[in-house]
Amino acid sequence: MPLSIRFYLPFAALFMFISGTAAVADYDGSPQEKAKWVEFCVNSLNSGKDRPGARRIYCQCMSEVVDTADFRRLYEWERMFPPAHQSCYDEAGFEPGG
């Protein structure tokens, strides 16, 4: 008995999601593009009680992961790449709730 197409749909959707995520993660923009994105990111973050330069460190770290040609809202990138977000957050030394 052949399997229904409904059986394969979740696998196809998962494959397309993983393929699309990998393509974005491998994106390597020009240095000017990355610098512009980092400035956009720094200006998008709220200036809390973080240590000097923490926002720039966080944004430079995230620019290695995201498609810097795509100026989405920062929280969208953070939701698309949770492990990278957490790693960059830790690298920048942000204080919890800061």
Q: What is d(CA 67, CA 86) in angstroms, rounded to the nearest whole number?
A: 18
- Indicate the domain borders of the chain: 28-98
Which two structure tokens, joined as six digits, stand for 33?
């593009």
Q: Is the pTM of this model over 0.75?
A: no
Q: Band of the pLDDT at 31, cuts 50, 70, 90?
A: confident
Q: Band of the pLDDT at 44, cuts 50, 70, 90?
A: confident
pLDDT value of residue 88 = 92
